[in-house]
Amino acid sequence: MKSMMNRKRADRLFRGGLFGAAFLIPAVLLGMLLSLGIIFFDEFSEIGFQYFFSSDWDPVNERYGIIVFVVGTFLTMFLALGFSIPFSLAISIFTGEIMYGTKIATLISQLLSIISAIPSVVMGLCGLFVLTPIMQDIQLALGYPPYGTGFLSASMVLAIMILPFSAFLGREVISLVPKDLKEAAYGLGATRLEVIRYVILPYAKSGIISGFMISMSRAIGETIAVTMLIGNSNYFPQNIFGTTNTMASVMANEFSEAGSDVYFSAIVGIGFSLIIISALFSLTARKIIKNFY
């Protein structure tokens, strides 16, 4: 009888533990949002509503507008995603289907996990020392000023950084496609390409898309590598080689030396807005995807 009581209590404790753990994350997120919001809105009367609509960022004259950074953030994110999608899909099909279970697939997966473990400052440095000189040659040849950095360079390095996330998830879901489905398709005379296209990809679709969503979130938040490569000018880019800025970069650049309280709040406000915007973005993206399929 007593042991029965103990077991019940253990069960209750277990349940409580799970519950607490699960709600820790939303509590932390909301807590962060709240603390950022309090600092931000403390000086909001000074910062003003044009904060969300203006493209003028001028700390000397205490004028703050973040629209350039918002555009820059999404520009680099979408471009990086565009660069990474073909490679990520190819890698997931290769390692999850064509070469599944072979040594080569394992090797590629291991290399990918090494890429995901490279600190972003190292990626940024590689970009600065290797990619920008190449970009400069291209820009000189095409008659653009040879900055080397810019949103294009930043997106290219970012694409490599976000690739492992979607590739891993893609590989997992593709390898989980039931064998009998594939065999049935082959039995009907489908080629390998047709099996991949009409059986595997539709089956694994939701997992693959989730992988891209994770990649996107990662791209929105990436800071150091982008900061080193984007050129850090607070203007909209003029051409494909143009320099601009992202929300995370501005914070990384200016946070530590933000002297006045208003300036400090304006920078904290970027963090606040970044969380809100990326939450809205991921909700809308999910909704759109749901409606499509």
Partner 1 sequence: MKDSLGFKKNMAYHILFLCIVLIGINQVFHKKQGQENTGAADGRLESRHSYSYSDILGAGASFPFPLYAKMFEAYRSEHKVRVNYQSIGSGGGVRQIRVQTIDFGATDAHLDDKQIALFKSEGKEILHIPIVLGAVVVAYNLKGFKNLKLNGAVLAGIYSGAIKKWDDEKIQSLNSNRNGESLPNKNIIAVHRSDGSGTTFVFSDFLGFSSDSWKRNVGIGKSLKWFRGALGAKGNEGVTQQIKNIPGAIGYISLNYALSAKLPIAAIQNADGKYILPSIKSVSEAASGQLPSDARVRLSGTATGGKGYPLSTFTWILVYKQQAYKGRSVKQAKELKNMLAWMLQADGQSLASPLFYAPLPKKAALQAKSILSRMLFNRQNL
Q: What is residue 266's three-state secondary structure? A: helix
Question: Which parts of this chain interact with partner 1 (CB under 8 A)?
Answer: 15, 18-19, 23, 26-27, 30-31, 34-35, 38, 56-61, 128-129, 132-133, 136, 145-149, 227-228, 231-235, 238, 243, 245, 249, 252-259, 264
Q: What is residue 231's three-state secondary structure? A: strand
Give whichever of 133 and 178 is closer to partner 1, judged by the CB atom: 133
List, in order, residues 6 or more apart from 57 with CB less than 8 Å away.
63, 64, 65, 66, 68, 69, 234, 250
List, in order, residues 6 or more apart from 80 with CB less than 8 Å away.
154, 155, 156, 158, 159, 161, 162, 219
* Rounded Cα gap, residues 228 and 158, in angstroms: 11
Least Å distance, CB 84 to partner 1, is 24
Least Å distance, CB 68 to partner 1, is 11
Give whichever of 129 and 292 is closer to partner 1, judged by the CB atom: 129
Q: What is the signed CA dihedral for 131, 136, 142, 144, rounded to 10 degrees?
A: 120
Least Å distance, CB 287 to partner 1, is 22
Give whichever of 133 and 202 is closer to partner 1, judged by the CB atom: 133
Least Å distance, CB 151 to partner 1, is 13
Which among 211, 231, 210, 271 has a CA at the least distance from the CA of 76? 231
Which among 223, 226, 214 has a CA at the least distance from the CA of 285? 214
Give whichever of 180 and 257 is closer to partner 1, judged by the CB atom: 257
Asked if 120 contacts 161 with a C-beta cutoff of 8 angstroms, the reply is yes
Give whichever of 31 and 202 is closer to partner 1, judged by the CB atom: 31
Give whichever of 57 and 168 is closer to partner 1, judged by the CB atom: 57
Least Å distance, CB 81 to partner 1, is 24
Least Å distance, CB 254 to partner 1, is 5
* Rounded Cα gap, residues 38 and 268, in angstroms: 10
